[in-house]
A = this chain, B = another copy of it.
Amino acid sequence: MAIQSQCLSRLAFAVAGVLFGASVSAQTLDVPAKKLLAPGTVSPQMQVLIDAPRRTGWDVLPATGEAWRKVADAAAVGTLKALPGLMQRMQVTVEKTTIDGVRAFIVTPAKIAPENRNRVLIHMHGGCYVLSPGEAGLPEAVMMSGMGGYKVISVDYRMPPEAYFPAALDDGVTVYKNTLKTVDAKNIGVFGASAGGALTLEMMLRAKALGLPLPGAIAPGTPMADVTKVGDTFYTNELVDNVLVSRDGFCDAGTKVYAAGHDLKDPLLSPIYGDLSGFPPTILTTGTRDLLLSNTVRVHRKLRQAGVEATLQVFEGQSHAHYLRDDSAPETKDAFAEITGFFNKHLAK
């Protein structure tokens, strides 16, 4: 099916080839089987992540919101167990709240950096629109708050089976609009990885459509910016990325359940197809083994072509969102230092 859809675009090109007078062959590139090990130049912590076996259950494909909730709760156990230690190391406190009816957590660092006193970051967690409910969505927010000295509002947006597209986006926008009542847009940053990266981009499209002022900067990490399986690394990094593993794996299944029949090419599900002009300064993060490397670099190119100040960082050997998996890894500190430095540079004070 995947090859089939590529064949269709190949056919379209063959026609274009005739028009352009190009020499066209239908040949595919045959790549033999290979064995991979983590590169020796990354930290021991990152080697552990890179050499880990493929994610358990990557090819289990629940088809309903109810089934996904069970998977999400089971997957959350380990995260919830590790969370108190992470909060302690990052020296942050977490307060559960509700903002205009949307569940959220306020993450506050022991020390808010002086230049950050009037700044707020809004966090949209990842998890293919179906995973990491409640506190399980917090680790990235906790790291950003602790490493950057920021107050962070982490949105515990509705997910299946509680609600479906565009509920997650609606909840993010509700929190953004509420924040605008007390904080200038230019003092607000929005960030998140994977589905959270896509939601960050989708929020900008929605904010533009609503005529809202846009935030001062955004940091979409390895965004699920194209959920139609278009993107070269869906193929080249298939079974190389040990987190997402395959374009036909769990993450695709979760996204389809959230979309609930809605067109996956809608820019509010695949923001690469939206008009990215006027977007705030953007920093994008990915890794060389990331199944979404193409998603990420395509967003970067499209932002640059739209005249947006956009920065790309790509980490050696890392699969999808490895950069936020181990707060002790120097690569994690490096990635967050770049992102918080970017916010510090671009957000108003």
Contact = CB atoms under 8 A, between A and B. Distances in A.
B294 A29 contact: no
Q: Is the interface of A mostly helix, strand, loop or mixed?
A: mixed
A33 interface: yes
Contact of A301 (B240, B305, B316): B316
A9 interface: yes
A39 to B, nearest CB: 4
A69 B314 CA distance: 37
Interface in A19-77: 20, 22-25, 27-41, 44-45, 47-48, 51, 53-54
A338 interface: yes
Interface in A202-240: 230-233, 235-240
A315 B304 CA distance: 12
A183 interface: no
A40 B3 CA distance: 12
A297 B286 CA distance: 11
Contacts of A47: 13
Contacts of A110: none
Contacts of A317: 232, 294
Interface in A149-188: none
A293 B35 CA distance: 19
A227 B14 CA distance: 38
6 contacts: A22-B44, A29-B240, A32-B33, A39-B232, A300-B313, A314-B314
Given A3-B35, A20-B44, A29-B35, 15 more contacts: A9-B39, A25-B51, A29-B36, A29-B54, A30-B33, A31-B240, A36-B236, A37-B235, A41-B231, A232-B317, A236-B237, A236-B288, A298-B316, A301-B316, A311-B311
